[in-house]
Structure 1
Amino acid sequence: MTTSKVTPVGAVRPGLLEKLVAAVRPEFRAEILAFGPDDPVLGGKPCRVTGCGRTGRIRGLCFGHDSRWRREGKPDLGHFIATTDPRMKGHQPLASCRIPGCLRGRKERGLCTRHHYAWQRSGQSDLNQWVAALPPVVEPDPPATCRIAYCDLWVHADLPFCLTHGIRWKEQGRPDIDDYARGYENDSTPGHERIDLRELDAHLRLETQYALQCRHDDAAIRIAPSAVQVVVNFLAATEVSSLLDHDEHAWLQAWKQRFPKRARFSNGDSGRALLIYARRKVEESHLGRGWDVEYRRDVWRLRNLGVEEGPATVRFDQISQTWLKELAKRWIRWRLSSGLGTGSATKAALALTSFSRFLTSPAVGVDRLAQVDRPLLERYLADLHTELAGKKIHGERISQLHLFLQAIRRHGWDESLPANATLHSEDFPKKGQLLPRALAEHVMTQLEDPHNLNQWNDPDRRLITLILIRCGLRLGDTLRLAVDCVVHDADNAPYLRYVNHKMKREALVPIDEELEAQIIKQRRKVSDCWPNRIPVLFPRSRANPDGSKRASHSGYQHALAEWLRRCDIRDAHGNPVHVTPHQYRHSLGTRLINLDVPQEVVRRILDHDSHAMTAHYARLADTTIRRHWEKARKVNATGQTVTLAPDGPMAEAAWAKQRIGRATQALPNGYCSLPLVKTCPHANACLTCPMFVTTAEFLPQHRHHHQEVLQIISAAEARGHTRQAEMNRQVADNLEKIITTLEVDDPGQQEAAADAS
């Protein structure tokens, strides 16, 4: 056993040792850590060979069985898995002496020590003949068997084990017999599934054990013990006493020097990621987490501030002016605390980094805030125009600097800021008129083709695509949908309830029954996977033990690109189509406008804040004011009054549904309230359809229709056509109820009644 290095651990970091000793549990305090397949992080799927009990790392096989499969010439894998012995070399029963009845271990030539010496003394050269001539061994008082549980060989001489196990016992320094036997029996974990920490300094070993325990408790990202061992060996070679001896940048540089080939794959190096994770966990244990730790750093780690989504860091390390860096930190911390998104925070930091580079240029040479006046800002605007004219980032840089200077002046953070250090609306680049990004109907037809939709490898992503196409949600809002996202109004019509994260509010959009059924199916599947949780509707497939983490943007976008290639989606010129998820939203808006749906309704469906956003799809169309619809009495085919939902989000969504029906399915004597996406099962029978709605403006048509129906009934009865008369009698009754109800609120009818009186 290798002797571990010893360092006065109390002198490494004051107070850290006590925290680590109290935190690390006994199962992680061993110098050699072994993990089985059931471990959520360092384990994996068990070997496919029944009874093996090891982790299947290659083709579902453990390393041992994979090596055996290759040594046997790579036979049919299924047959090999079904027939091979689950036990590996060193854990199988040992062969006994060739002499019948002798259960001693073999020494040489298949013979035990006693029979091997006997054969040598016999002087015979043919071993097989000599073995065949010997009678079976009969021991009236047979020796004890080996202490290893699965070994039935006799003990060797005065050893407590058979010959082979005894030799191994002596080679290991004759440890305690019971401990050796018990460990040999139970320890089926091979060396590559263990983590040997003996070469580490005592304090560094404790830090590594703490980091592995944290990684184990997180149960998020798997890593093989062999990859952990690489990190352990790297730390042992550096001869440091603590992970805190170097900052993250220094550790990364040391790792790149040690593994230059791995440095080219920064996103796939699990060892590098574990090294940085371990340092952050130890630092968090020593110093805590939150603003007290992060604020003074030049790179804020947003995960340490409780931010679980979006960019992981906000960088200030490229801002060279101390005064500008301190003001930038104060400004961005204030904006984050007021609800600013992390993406906007990183844009703000980049804008101030750009301003810092300008201030340090030899032609400018500004070293204090008092020199930042209007002439300096005009010079900066000129440089920005030269560098970024025509790009979206041009206006963003100016906007962020404007907000920064405005905050300094408003909050009184530094009184030395000149009064004329301001930016005006004329300083911002003029925005050009952007064309809509809607997809051509030729492309949308291919995307909505059921055959192509069924080529999604993941049913979750297929449903995400349907929601994007039919509801016009942003991708981020779709991925954040809760499992209970479907709600119903008073007419039991389904709506999709979601959070518009851009506007920071809840919104509703009407959906059809087919989409509702698929969402319910997805909800049941998720609930079956995490019955005791309330996860999101589209949970991440990996590194998500409790189902709380949503699917990622990049994962869907990569899958979308692969799906488009698989389906061979092409434009009108035969070229492959590139589609972004947000184009589905533009396509829905453009479709609705082309169907003459009023722009106000489109705005409500897409949950825009202003008509300017909706006008990106089409110019403002003429609309019927909503209050006229609300004031008018609406009755259905049976004469019952139809009312919209009370004020609130549901009322807004119901109004949008009514307006779609009014604009696209108007009838000569009323409106159909069936959603646009559904097919009418009552063709040419609207007066008996439960989705029929009408108002007093159609009274003349109803009276004329009533007279015609009565004439049809009379003629049918005269000819003896009973069935025809019965069918039209229901229509006549409904018309009579409709007319009676609508005449109550009809001003013309009331004036006629007054004149008659």
Structure 2
Amino acid sequence: MVRRAAGVVVTGTTLSPAAARLGLLGKLMAVVRPEFRAEEFAFDPADPVFGGGVCLVPSCERTARGQGLCTGHHDRWAAEGRPDLDSFAAATDSRWHKQQPLLCCRAPGCGRGVCRGGLCTRHAAAWQRAERPDLIAWLPAQPETQPPAGLVICLVGDCRLWVEKDIPFCRGHGATWKSNGRPDPEQFARGYAEIEVVPRNERVRLQGLSAQLKLEIQYALQRRSDERTVKVQPFVVMQVVRFLTSCPVTSLLDWPEEIWRQRIGRPAPKDSNPRALLIFARRQLEDLADVGGGWDTEYGRDIWRMHLLGFEGRRRLRFDQIPQPWLREPAKRWARWRISTGLCLEASRRAIAAIERFGQFLASATVNVTGLAEVNRPLLERYLADLQAEMGGSQRQGSHIGLLNSFFTAIRQHRWDETLPTTALFFVQDQPKRAERPPRALAEQVMAQVEHSGNLDRWGNDDYRLITVILIRCGLRISDALRLRFDCITSDADRAPYLRYFNHKMKREALVPIDEDLLRLIGQQRHRVADRWPSRPSGPAWLFPRPTKNVDGQAPISSSTYRLALYRWLQACDIRDEHGQPVHFTPHQWRHTLGTRMINRDVPQEVVRRILDHDSSQMTGHYARLHDTTVRRHWEAARKVNVAGQAVTLDPDGPLAEAAWAKQRLGRATQALANGYCGLPVQKTCPHANACLTCPMFITTPEFLPQHHSHRQQVVQIITAAEARGQTRLVEMNQQVLVNLDNIITSLTDDNTAEEAAADAG
């Protein structure tokens, strides 16, 4: 029986208390709905999961699968050289190949089906005996064929050809009937008619499966229909069905998931859809079998299904790679405790990875530890050496040491195993020395290329373009940007717009101010999303829904999808660094770039912290260090001269560079002069009564030229007055000051003039 099934929206599987006490077969009988209980059925072309829309050809009711055409019309369109789709759809015959009447013999009066050359078997043999003359001249000379007595027309549908001897079908339909094993003629005729309406590749047939496997596949199709997240074509279902008929199992749960992954489609096919459907079906059965179990069910497993413990998605936490059962048990308790404190799943996964690495070390032939009682400080020192040999003092090595130490601390704190020695611990000195991480902000030369409107327009995808602009201007983490809600805009009392998002790292709502241009772009994105998913009564869920396999718009774009698109875009734009090399960076570096830019523009550090939603000022302090470097760069670039007008140079890369810069900063803060800076160490006492113009430690730059000119005028007046009064000593003291001022002014003026000339020439 063929049954058409339309998708029914169901939020989940609900079992009655009686059904929950039954075994898996009983649960399947209780939850599989009637529309999915047929052995053979087809789905409506408009079904959002199993359908694909109606064929573009008028009057054709089949499911469109390629270019908006059904399989038959798509093949015909390709055979005609792929003409314009609209013109083809309007001009072609709406009937599929098997709907069109079979060819009739060209001989006068003959109603039999064609065998070869446009003739039936009898007339083709006569033409052959006549030594195959010209057919157009031969046909009119043939006597008209009379219908046989008791003429019977072919049993199939609208076929009007004469039946062949001893069968109820014409020659063409009879050949098909024979090749199918001569089934019941009436049933074959009905099925053949249904094939014409619903092609074979659009039907699902489960007759070859055992009773429980049949129910399991029906349940998987029902769950796909209920979730409405991924499209499934019926021919993919049939690939799975044909594979299962050859497997010696009565249930998908007979084999673990890894075995199914290895068995189906080996060697691995290019199309992974059948494998994905099979794994989905098995996981759904696991959930049904353990429905309502929660921690009581999952804790005893070596692979935790985190969606049954309240986490989004189908993520899992694996303990099966920890070799020792005595180490695996406290690892589970530690993971459960960490999850109960609110830590994210990724943090738990990193912690289990650290224990897994430690367990593999303990299982090696040279160690061979058999229990926690043997884990002591000497053993951990050997493990430290093993980590160093593999990871070379990287940040990952420090993470492994810290997590393992926390694991030992939790065992003692909660008394999970009293045999763990008190010497099983790490010290602060065990952590590898971490070098100061280099700045991750992108160079302005790179940012100029990234922000160029022509390059942004090369995205070709409005979603990805807007995501890029938000990352650059707002400094969001990529996961937060991709999960912006559809209603992510809010405003304050002054109607100033803000972008509202959820900071997944800090687990809190956050706001960042935006400008009118970004507000306009987000408004346009909202309209595009609403037009694509207009059926949702509450509006779309996300500002950036996933473009494919997202029937209801319930899934946002994934981070990996955007990253791959970003790398293709960087390559297409040919963005290069200052050395002419192609640039490769991560989306998170835009966050560092925004923080650095704000610090360099003298935005207060607390304001930067709030905009980036850092949890502490220490996180923002990294950008403040970059600002300090920027000031130093400008200071080093300025020309500096001493009291003799001689240039003063400081090697920015020398071993004393940092000390010299620290001294200059302190000198600026505590000994700043009106016309320069003091280069004398702070702990020294200045022996010069003058304002440093006779001090050998004095350093000045062109920015103080106006003060030097004013000071020179005052010194000339003092010398003139002293000479008139005969004050020789006063003249001598100020004469040295005047000479130094002349040297300084001459040197700085010449250098400044040369720079201006070079700038004008540029």
**Fold in common (TM above 0.5):** yes
Note if contact 1:35-1:189 (Cα within 8 Å) is conserved in structure 2. Answer: no
2:94 corresponds to: 86
Q: Does 1:28 align with 2:28?
A: no
Q: Does 1:447 align with 2:454?
A: no
Q: Does 1:544 align with 2:550?
A: yes
Instruction: Tell me, in whole angstroms, the C-alpha distance in 2 between the residues paired with 1:56 and 1:282.
Output: 31
Q: Does 1:597 align with 2:603?
A: yes
Instruction: Tell me, in whole angstroms, the C-alpha distance in 2 between the residues paired with 1:65 and 1:307.
Output: 45
1:532 corresponds to: 537
Q: Does 1:217 align with 2:254?
A: no
Deviations 1:616-670 (A, max 9, x none): 1123989xxxxxxxxxxxxxxxxxxxxxxxxxxxxxxxxxxxxxxxxxxxxxxxx
Q: Does 1:509 align with 2:517?
A: no
Aligned residues: 602
Structure 1 residue 91, shift from structure 2 partner: 1.0
- For residues 155-304 of structure 1, the aligned pairs below 5 Å read 173=182, 175=184, 177=186, 180-181=189-190, 184=193, 187-255=196-264, 259-262=266-269, 269-288=272-291, 290-304=294-308
Instruction: Tell me, in whole angstroms, the C-alpha distance in 1 between the residues paired with 2:98 and 2:316.
Output: 50
- For residues 615-634 of structure 1, the aligned pairs below 5 Å read 615-619=621-625
1:608 corresponds to: 614
Instruction: Tell me, in whole angstroms, the C-alpha distance in 2 between the residues paired with 1:370 and 1:118.
Output: 98
Partner SS state of residue 476, structure 2? coil
The 3 A distance-change label for structure 1 pair 422 and 97 is closer
1:650 corresponds to: none
Letter in 2 for 1:373: N
Instruction: Tell me, in whole angstroms, the C-alpha distance in 2 between the residues paired with 1:384 and 1:130.
Output: 92
Consecutive unaligned residues of structure 1, counting only runs of 5 or more, are: 2-12, 623-757
1:17 corresponds to: 25
Note if contact 1:453-1:462 (Cα within 8 Å) is conserved in structure 2. Answer: yes
Partner SS state of residue 208, structure 2? coil
Letter in 2 for 1:344: A
Instruction: Tell me, in whole angstroms, the C-alpha distance in 1 between the residues paired with 2:380 and 2:229.
Output: 48
Instruction: Tell me, in whole angstroms, the C-alpha distance in 2 between the residues paired with 1:111 and 1:375.
Output: 94
The TM-score normalised by the length of structure 1 is 0.70
Structure 1 residue 359, shift from structure 2 partner: 2.0
Deviations 1:66-121 (A, max 9, x none): 4445655x36464655533232332113445657888776688867899999999x
Letter in 1 for 2:303: V
Q: Does 1:561 align with 2:549?
A: no
Instruction: Tell me, in whole angstroms, the C-alpha distance in 1 between the residues paired with 2:505 and 2:78.
Output: 56
Structure 1 residue 476, shift from structure 2 partner: 0.9
Letter in 2 for 1:532: P
Instruction: Tell me, in whole angstroms, the C-alpha distance in 2 between the residues paired with 1:118 and 1:439.
Output: 86
Note if contact 2:177-2:188 (Cα within 8 Å) is conserved in structure 1. Answer: no
Partner SS state of residue 455, structure 1? helix
Note if contact 2:231-2:551 (Cα within 8 Å) is conserved in structure 1. Answer: no
Deviations 1:453-500 (A, max 9, x none): 111121011111111111111111111111221111111111111111
Consecutive unaligned residues of structure 2, counting only runs of 5 or more, are: 2-20, 629-762
Between stretches 551-560 and 195-204, larger displacement belongs to 195-204
Structure 1 residue 222, shift from structure 2 partner: 2.8
The 3 A distance-change label for structure 1 pair 156 and 584 is same
Letter in 1 for 2:456: L
Between stretches 100-109 and 419-428, larger displacement belongs to 100-109
Deviations 1:288-344 (A, max 9, x none): 3633333222222334434225x8222211212112101111111221232211111
Instruction: Tell me, in whole angstroms, the C-alpha distance in 2 between the residues paired with 1:395 and 1:314.
Output: 22
Partner SS state of residue 497, structure 1? strand
Instruction: Tell me, in whole angstroms, the C-alpha distance in 2 between the residues paired with 1:455 and 1:274.
Output: 36
Structure 1 residue 512, shift from structure 2 partner: 0.5
Between stretches 240-249 and 91-100, larger displacement belongs to 91-100
1:668 corresponds to: none
Deviations 1:130-186 (A, max 9, x none): 8647999999x9989877664466889999877765786787756474894486157
Instruction: Tell me, in whole angstroms, the C-alpha distance in 2 between the residues paired with 1:400 and 1:172.
Output: 67
- For residues 112-131 of structure 1, the aligned pairs below 5 Å read none
Structure 1 residue 427, shift from structure 2 partner: 2.9
- For residues 303-318 of structure 1, the aligned pairs below 5 Å read 303-309=307-313, 312-318=315-321
The 3 A distance-change label for structure 1 pair 358 and 115 is closer
Instruction: Tell me, in whole angstroms, the C-alpha distance in 2 between the residues paired with 1:323 and 1:332.
Output: 15
Letter in 2 for 1:529: R
The 3 A distance-change label for structure 1 pair 561 and 108 is closer
Between stretches 96-105 and 332-341, larger displacement belongs to 96-105
Note if contact 1:37-1:54 (Cα within 8 Å) is conserved in structure 2. Answer: yes
The 3 A distance-change label for structure 1 pair 613 and 111 is closer
Between stretches 160-169 and 435-444, larger displacement belongs to 160-169
Letter in 2 for 1:43: G
Instruction: Tell me, in whole angstroms, the C-alpha distance in 2 between the residues paired with 1:362 and 1:118.
Output: 87
Structure 1 residue 213, shift from structure 2 partner: 2.6
Note if contact 1:34-1:194 (Cα within 8 Å) is conserved in structure 2. Answer: yes
2:658 corresponds to: none
Instruction: Tell me, in whole angstroms, the C-alpha distance in 1 between the residues paired with 2:201 and 2:403.
Output: 53
Note if contact 1:435-1:616 (Cα within 8 Å) is conserved in structure 2. Answer: no
Note if contact 1:598-1:621 (Cα within 8 Å) is conserved in structure 2. Answer: no
2:422 corresponds to: 419
Letter in 2 for 1:394: Q
Letter in 2 for 1:307: F
Q: Does 1:358 align with 2:366?
A: no
Letter in 1 for 2:459: W
Instruction: Tell me, in whole angstroms, the C-alpha distance in 1 between the residues paired with 2:59 and 2:256.
Output: 46
Partner SS state of residue 17, structure 1? helix
Q: CA RMSD in A?
A: 3.9
